[in-house]
């Protein structure tokens, strides 16, 4: 028996012996070690990441996938600025309880234009991947002003200052242009009108809002999100973003058979 095990292990023993001897010589050369480390550490990342860019079915095709409007993108930037991703995921896993709690599991295509993605790593608060249109704008505003007014057990911070902070729309064309540079298909017209469209999305029944429908589609939510007409605040932007979460494409609902209520 011992003999059999020894025969079995012999190639491994020989390998480690050769390895130790080679290493004994290698470790006298700093550049040898440098090259060795780069090769050893390079293989795994290359094999796991590179194919994600080349294999087509990594990301599903969703013909109805729409872009974030400038106001929603501004809201997304505020979501990142405040570190919301530290407590809220935007990734529903393929597990029964998650699908029943939050909705259809997330598809890769849904974050196709998310630079960066906000899948998150921790749920101190619930997942937000399908938050859009679950609650009213008014609920969101009141919840953001003081979460414990609506959910007494909540440990979420208050964001009342968003109501007072005017939204910086001047930088929006630059932001959309940068997003186009990394692959989001914004048109020249969308970039040129970004600041006007941000204002228009919160001002229904104006000339500006017509432009938003024209460029981003008839299903765009055009309304005054924070119920304070006349002023575009960061609260408008953030609520507009929260209301679009999970609404960019209908593909998950079309392809997944949901358990009956």
Partner 1 sequence: MMSNLTRAERANAMVIAGTGAFIGLVMAAAGRGDPMGAHGWIVLAFCGALFFVVGSAYEDPEPTQDRTASYYDDPTKVGILIALFWAVVGMGMGVWVASQLAWPDLRFDAAWSSFGRIRPVHTSGVIFGFGGNALIATSFHIMQRTCRARMPDQVTPWFVLLGFNLFCIVASSGYLMGVTQSKEYAEPEWYADLWLVVVWVVYFVLYIRTLARRNEPHIYVANWYYLAFILVVAVLHIVNNLAVPASLTGAKSYSAFAGVQDAMTQWWYGHNAVAFFLTSGFLGMLYYFLPKRAERPIYSYRLSILSFWGITFFYIWAGSHHLHYTALPHWVQTLGMTFSVMLLVPSWASAGNALMTLNGAWHKVRDDATLRFMMVAAVFYGLSTFEGSFMAIRPVNGLSHYTDWTVGHVHAGAMGWVALISFGSIYALAPVLWRRETIYSWKAVEWHFWLALAGTVIYVFAMWNSGITQGLMWRTYTESGTLAYSFTDTLVAMHPYYVARTFGGLLFLIGACIGAWNVVMTIRRMPSETPERDYPTSSESREPALPAAE
* Residue list 39-58, contact with partner 1 (CB under 8 A): 40-45, 47-49, 52-53, 55, 58
Q: Note whether 110 binds partner 1 by CB under 8 A.
A: yes
**Burial of 201: CB neighbours in 10 Å, binned 0-12, 13-18, 19+:** buried
The phi and psi torsions of 137 (rounded to 5 degrees) equal: -55, -40
Q: Which of 9, 33, 192, 258 binds partner 1 (CB under 8 A)?
A: 33
Q: Note whether 113 binds partner 1 by CB under 8 A.
A: yes
Of 85 and 241, the one with the shorter C-beta distance to partner 1 is: 85
How far apart are CB 207 and partner 1 at their closest, in Å? 27
Q: Note whether 28 binds partner 1 by CB under 8 A.
A: yes
Nearest C-alpha neighbor of 198 from the set 164, 177, 173, 218: 173
Of 111 and 209, the one with the shorter C-beta distance to partner 1 is: 111
Residue 166, classed as helix, strand or coil, is: strand
Q: Note whether 23 binds partner 1 by CB under 8 A.
A: yes
Cβ-contact 170, 139 below 8 angstroms: no
Nearest C-alpha neighbor of 238 from the set 88, 77, 75, 114: 75
Q: Which of 65, 87, 145, 163 binds partner 1 (CB under 8 A)?
A: 87
Nearest C-alpha neighbor of 68 from the set 155, 208, 172, 207: 172
The two tokens of residue 124 are: 């101190």
Q: Note whether 10 binds partner 1 by CB under 8 A.
A: no
Q: Note whether 185 binds partner 1 by CB under 8 A.
A: no
Segment near partner 1 (CB under 8 A); pick from 2-10, 148-156, 190-198, 206-214 = 148-156
Tokens 């008014």 map to which residue?
138
Range 153-182, binding partner 1 (CB under 8 A): 153-159, 161, 171, 174-175, 177-179, 181-182
């Amino acid at each position: 028996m011992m003999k059999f095990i020894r025969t079995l292990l012999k190639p491994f023993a020989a390998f480690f012996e050769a390895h130790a001897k080679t290493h004994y010589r290698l470790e006298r050369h700093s550049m040898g070690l440098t090259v060795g480390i780069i090769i050893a550490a390079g293989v795994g990342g290359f094999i796991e990441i590179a194919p994600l860019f080349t294999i087509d079915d990594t990301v599903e095709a969703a013909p109805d996938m729409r872009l974030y409007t400038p106001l929603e993108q501004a809201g997304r930037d505020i979501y990142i600025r405040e570190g919301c991703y530290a407590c809220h995921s935007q990734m529903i896993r393929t597990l029964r309880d998650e699908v029943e709690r939050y909705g259809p599991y997330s598809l890769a295509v849904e974050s196709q234009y998310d630079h960066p993605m906000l899948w998150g790593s921790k749920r101190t608060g619930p997942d937000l991947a399908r938050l859009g249109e679950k609650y009213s704008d008014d609920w969101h505003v009141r919840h953001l002003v003081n979460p414990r007014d609506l959910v007494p057990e909540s440990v979420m911070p208050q964001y009342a200052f968003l109501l007072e902070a005017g939204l910086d729309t001047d930088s929006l064309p630059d932001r959309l242009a940068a997003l186009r540079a990394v692959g989001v298909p914004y048109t020249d017209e969308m970039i040129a009108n970004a600041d006007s469209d941000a204002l228009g999305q919160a001002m229904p029944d104006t000339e500006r809002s017509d432009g938003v429908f024209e460029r981003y589609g008839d299903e765009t939510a055009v309304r005054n999100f924070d119920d304070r007409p006349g002023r575009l605040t960061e609260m408008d932007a953030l609520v507009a973003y929260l209301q679009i979460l999970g609404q960019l494409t209908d593909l998950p609902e079309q392809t997944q058979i949901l358990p009956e209520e």
